[in-house]
Structure 1
């Protein structure tokens, strides 16, 4: 192969399943040029698997642009349909797998894993072209006719395990709401002991009461914020005070803290052991912050008088749990639960909340 008419990458050769593959360091500036994303060029059997979720691209782009000193991207995996040649630097036993990978200019590349990374890199280069000389590792498989690429895609994703949103929050040291949420948990005796920082839903035998993502989502609702929004110091102070008052006001939580009630029995018998409850309180708290900024604490303390038992069908059936007794947490049930909490502590419903109530009762009838 003529090196003048080829892509040339320093690379390492490896063997998997008896077949060669190559790992190369590619400058970011050439990623959008060699890995074209033209759906017409992608075989039909691959298109459905590789439809870009364009909503993800701005967030990933901002991640690169705003963290140029410490962003991290994992390898892109790609199939090559075209002529390739590997030239080892020497034939020594130690270094025979180090060499130069040559790929014909007319070769086709199909990304098996990393199409969103590729799109984000392209957008980031438009904003910060200076990152073009930085590199990302690319794992190349030779696949004539791209016949095996569908199986490669399937195999790469078959055993992939996405991290839970709780883990994502726990390990996030950039998002201020994530940091504030973790600080609140750490400083609160009940939350620090009974918050599961890994899972997003708790099993019936879990020794915890709430999941980290429940508290994070509740904080967003309390402030009426979206993930990534700016948070002011006075809002952080409100969140800290809110959780202190709330934890003091939920009788059943304090029974758990005193070892008079187990977390298992709490979840089995009361809605206060579930995400639908705590996120509904976020909506109530946001209303109080907006319309009763000086009185919100006295309203939250009224929660101690409410019957949270799952046998209390008149208040929670169809809102927090269904007719089979199963807890249900959706945007709809969170709002319906919040509506009932507001009514029970003497707060009026907004026009939108009343409309939802009317639909709820029409459905019941």
Structure 2
């Protein structure tokens, strides 16, 4: 009678110990990821799942990142639990190499992802478009499955202290996005922003000497060059530098801080133009201004000197402030943008007209 030999997945591995339990670190070819790693189905009750439901909207974005940056992408390790008998074979009996070897995982084992299900789904999607990625590898941390309770606790522990970096820090370290590069250069090279831009945090503390955040400058510049991203980088940079330099000339409060006449903290307390909503609104206005007055936009910006930025001005209540406090909601951004457009003589969009009517009726 013919015997059937057991079939195994075999991975080169390093064995370690955490909380008295063995675990294994290995490298897995991308082409194997969709085949051997499972994740719980979304229609299962969360009490009997060991992870969150897959957010399918995230998968194409991650897959495109992998495809478009196949020469310099970075994926962190996948963490998974093996429900099956794992055999670790040391490289040798030498104590130095005793924790280096291979693990043999029966193909009948259930391998469930504890952390990395979106990476797994994105890898599967990317391989359909770029199968040559299949021979590349991703690091995997294998734990032995000790049941649902342990898997759920692992998920909670793996995500307990996960904190996304701030928007400003992401922009500071992002060299793929041309708008991020322009925002960084503005913060260093344009006199208006140099020394007054918070490079790491997305909010500014009361005592800070900074007036702008890199994330606010990025968003404002992104609004300024909206839909122009297909133009050459140097042209986008020139537009950005020129626009913000001209804007800066006509906002005396910003210059007072730059010259050391007024503290940034005092401006934040008393003026709306010391907050990110104004910077972003000016970016949105700039996009329309350059289209409406392509030859005279610099002259038109002189009208910014007519704006009364004082936050105690009743005109701003409901438009920028709610109960005297700055509100950076989408509707408030629309209303501030429309207010600046009216000063500069730029026609309002349908959305802005509707927001103005709603504001008037509520007053």
Please classify the TM superposition score into its range, dividing by the shorter chain length: over 0.9
- Tell me which of 138, 145, 148 is aligned to 1:146: 148
For structure 1, which segment, 142-151 or 354-363, has the greater mean C-alpha deviation from structure 2 after superposition?
142-151
Q: Say whether residues 1:207 and 2:209 are aligned partners.
A: yes
- Tell me which of 194, 197, 209 is aligned to 2:196: 194
Counting only pairs closer than 5 Å after superposition, residues 336-347 of structure 1 correspond to structure 2 as 336-347=335-346
- Counterpart residue number, 1:161: 163
Q: Does the CA-based 8 Å contact 1:271-1:309 persist in structure 2?
A: yes
For structure 1, which segment, 50-59 or 125-134, has the greater mean C-alpha deviation from structure 2 after superposition?
50-59
Q: Say whether residues 1:264 and 2:265 are aligned partners.
A: yes
- Counterpart residue number, 1:15: 17
Query: Equivalents in 1 of 2:50, 2:249: separation in Å?
Result: 51
- Counterpart residue number, 1:303: 304
> Where do 4+ consecutive residues of structure 1 move more than 4 Å?
40-43, 46-49
- Counterpart residue number, 1:219: 221
Q: Secondary structure at the match of 2:126?
A: helix
Q: Does the CA-based 8 Å contact 2:250-2:301 persist in structure 1?
A: yes
Query: Equivalents in 1 of 2:304, 2:50: separation in Å?
Result: 49
- Counterpart residue number, 1:236: 237
Deviation at 1:340, TM superposition (A): 1.3
Deviations 1:141-166 (A, max 9, x none): 11233331111111111111111111
Deviation at 1:351, TM superposition (A): 3.2
- Tell me which of 22, 25, 28 is aligned to 2:27: 25
Deviation at 1:63, TM superposition (A): 1.7
For residues 168 and 116 of structure 1, do their structure 2 counterparts lie closer, same or farther at Cα, with a shift above 3 Å needed? same
Cα RMSD for the two superposed structures: 2.0
Counting only pairs closer than 5 Å after superposition, residues 36-75 of structure 1 correspond to structure 2 as 36-37=38-39, 39=41, 44-45=46-47, 47=49, 49-75=51-77
Q: Secondary structure at the match of 1:60?
A: helix
Q: Kindly tell me the number of residue pairs found equivalent between the two proteins.
A: 359
Q: Does the CA-based 8 Å contact 2:49-2:148 persist in structure 1?
A: no
Deviation at 1:37, TM superposition (A): 4.0
For structure 1, which segment, 332-341 or 44-53, has the greater mean C-alpha deviation from structure 2 after superposition?
44-53
Q: Does the CA-based 8 Å contact 1:42-1:110 persist in structure 2?
A: no
For residues 25 and 46 of structure 1, do their structure 2 counterparts lie closer, same or farther at Cα, with a shift above 3 Å needed? farther
Q: Does the CA-based 8 Å contact 2:87-2:103 persist in structure 1?
A: yes
- Structure 2 residues without counterparts, runs of 5 or longer: none
TM-score by length of 1: 0.92
Query: Equivalents in 2 of 1:361, 1:190: separation in Å?
Result: 35
Counting only pairs closer than 5 Å after superposition, residues 65-144 of structure 1 correspond to structure 2 as 65-144=67-146
Deviation at 1:234, TM superposition (A): 3.4
Deviation at 1:236, TM superposition (A): 3.1
Deviation at 1:140, TM superposition (A): 0.9
Deviations 1:123-151 (A, max 9, x none): 11112111211111001111233331111
TM-score by length of 2: 0.93
- Counterpart residue number, 1:328: 327
Query: Equivalents in 2 of 1:143, 1:7: separation in Å?
Result: 17
Q: Does the CA-based 8 Å contact 1:165-1:213 persist in structure 2?
A: yes
Q: Secondary structure at the match of 1:189?
A: coil
Deviations 1:318-358 (A, max 9, x none): 121111x2211121111111111222334342333111100
Deviation at 1:260, TM superposition (A): 0.5
For residues 42 and 112 of structure 1, do their structure 2 counterparts lie closer, same or farther at Cα, with a shift above 3 Å needed? farther
- Structure 1 residues without counterparts, runs of 5 or longer: none
Q: Say whether residues 1:352 and 2:351 are aligned partners.
A: yes
Q: Does the CA-based 8 Å contact 2:13-2:25 persist in structure 1?
A: yes
- Counterpart residue number, 1:276: 277
Q: Say whether residues 1:172 and 2:174 are aligned partners.
A: yes
Deviation at 1:310, TM superposition (A): 1.1
Query: Equivalents in 2 of 1:238, 1:295: separation in Å?
Result: 14
- Counterpart residue number, 1:362: 361
Q: Does the CA-based 8 Å contact 2:25-2:140 persist in structure 1?
A: yes
The structure with the largest helix share of the pair is 1
Q: Does the CA-based 8 Å contact 2:38-2:113 persist in structure 1?
A: no
Query: Equivalents in 2 of 1:351, 1:17: separation in Å?
Result: 61
Q: Does the CA-based 8 Å contact 2:335-2:355 persist in structure 1?
A: yes
Q: Does the CA-based 8 Å contact 2:169-2:199 persist in structure 1?
A: yes
Deviation at 1:264, TM superposition (A): 0.6
For residues 334 and 3 of structure 1, do their structure 2 counterparts lie closer, same or farther at Cα, with a shift above 3 Å needed? farther
